[in-house]
Amino acid sequence: MDSNNVRPICWCVFALIATPASASTEAVADARALGMGETRVAIAYSPQLNPALLSSNNDKKLFWEPATLAVRIADAKRVRAAVTGDYAVRDYYHGAGYAARAYARNSLQEPGLWQGQERLMLRSVQRLSQYAARADVQAYAGLSLPNPVLGVGAYTNMYGSAARVPAADGAMRERATLVNEIGVALARQFAVYGDVAFGITPKYVDILTYERVAARPEDGDYDRRQEQLTHAFNMDIGVARRYETGWSLGGVVTNLVPMNVTSVMGEEFRLLPTVRFGLALQEAKTTYAADIDVVDQQNWVDGVKRRYFGIGAEYQWWVVQWRAGYRHNLAVDQAGVVTLGMGLQAFGFHIDTAVAGNVHELSATAQFSYRI
């Protein structure tokens, strides 16, 4: 996948879905995982989810994922309703913006008009602070050859977030991050406490941070847009163990080397290690799985803490896989997310889709793959 081609597409998506009219860094799960409550550490096929699974069983089929696309939108319905149905919010984006630009040009003829618009702007910011307009996107492609002796995989994964964050001083801040990873996964099975597989994924990482601030005119710069690109190397490590009874255990640490990135406006975006454990039970036609994050992650884009727990199940019927699950954020008090998914397979070809959501969040993903 050519990152030069994908990056403009992702930024176009940000431009569309990060606006209040239609709408951490955190990757959206692949289709099978999303349909099963975002469980993946013990059952994933993709090498970027847990490299150790390339060697955790005797599967030696080539697994090719030419395309995975995913989108998540948070609070889109409430933001759209606020912008279109609330006078103060609507006035912030239209009347207050016009008055501010006129004020900056020193062409405002009525001094009292700006004070009125400013009051409406501040009221609007207070209202908007209740709505975290946020969107995530992901584009992924990978190729893997599982083998107990030496499993090998390679992938490119681009994922990012965009959010509109009200500030206490009356400014409106738009933030976005785009992370592009290119990784090579290696795994091997060892006779340690049974057959335990270990995997490692060295990867090259690009982190693009973007900020736009719409401040009050007397503060100087009313509309400021800046971005900054950071390059680094990092790695993921994983472990997996499969039992003859059908049980599987897995663990993965992503972004093992902490990365501190300072944005062009002086704020820090931290890409910290994440730790996740999972277990699964695979039967003839049914798979059950559960995952849990060990540490909280606070996203720079919207400031929300996240630590997920997910459970899910998959049922195989003929050439169709039916999936369902539930994911809950243990770090904050908010509603859980219900997930549903479906997969079709024939002659080695796989098409998987999934949706997830609650009253505040909606996710959807589609994936095409082939196993030889």
Identify the DSSP state of 92.
I
88 pLDDT exceeds 70? no
Mean pLDDT: which of 129-133, 148-152, 158-162, 164-168 is highest?
Answer: 148-152
pLDDT-derived band at 79 (thresholds 50, 70, 90) equals: very low
Mean pLDDT of 173-177: 75
Instruction: Please report the pLDDT score of residue 316 as a whole number.
Output: 96
Beta carbons of 273 and 259 less than 8 angstroms apart:
no
pLDDT-derived band at 192 (thresholds 50, 70, 90) equals: confident
Query: Tokens in use for 262?
Result: 């300072």
Residue in this structure with the two tokens 């680094």, named with its chain if needed: 232
Instruction: Give me the amino acid identity at 83.
Output: V
Q: Which class for 85: exposed (0-12), middle (13-18), buried (19 or more C-beta within 10 A)?
A: exposed
320 pLDDT exceeds 90? yes
Instruction: Give me the amino acid identity at 64.
Output: W
Q: What is the pLDDT of residues 276-318, one digit of tens each?
A: 999 999 999 999 999 999 988 877 777 778 899 999 999 999 9
The residues, any chain, with a CB within 8 Å of residue 275's CB and separated by 6 or more, are 251, 252, 253, 293, 294, 295
Residue spans per domain, the chain: 3-75+132-371
Q: Name which residue leads in pLDDT, 221 or 59.
A: 59
Instruction: Give me the amino acid identity at 13.
Output: V
Mean pLDDT of 263-272: 70
Give the CATH superfamily of 3-75+132-371.
Answer: Outer membrane protein transport protein (OMPP1/FadL/TodX) (2.40.160.60)
SS3 content of the chain, % helix, strand, coil (to 5): 20, 50, 30
Beta carbons of 28 and 71 less than 8 angstroms apart:
yes
Query: Tokens in use for 332?
Result: 């904050």
Cα gap 372→369, rounded to integer Å: 10
Query: Tokens in use for 354?
Result: 């999934």
Left if phi > 0, otherwise alpha if psi is -120 to 50, otherwise beta: which for 64?
beta
Describe the crossing of helices 97-104 and 111-128 by its angle, rounded to 10 degrees: 130
pLDDT-derived band at 178 (thresholds 50, 70, 90) equals: confident
Q: What is the pLDDT of residues 325-365, one digit of tens each?
A: 999 999 888 789 999 999 999 999 999 999 999 877 888 89
Q: What is the pLDDT of residues 19-72, one digit of tens each?
A: 332 224 556 668 999 999 999 999 988 888 999 999 987 777 899 998 888 877
Cα gap 328→336, rounded to integer Å: 4
DSSP states of 55-75: SSSS----EEEEEEEEEEEES
Instruction: Please report the pLDDT score of residue 207 as a whole number.
Output: 83
- Reported pTM: 0.76
Cα gap 103→109, rounded to integer Å: 9
pLDDT-derived band at 10 (thresholds 50, 70, 90) equals: very low
Instruction: Please report the pLDDT score of residue 4 as a whole number.
Output: 42
Instruction: Please report the pLDDT score of residue 114 as a whole number.
Output: 43
C-alpha distances (whole Å) from 125 to each of 7, 20, 271 are: 31, 13, 29
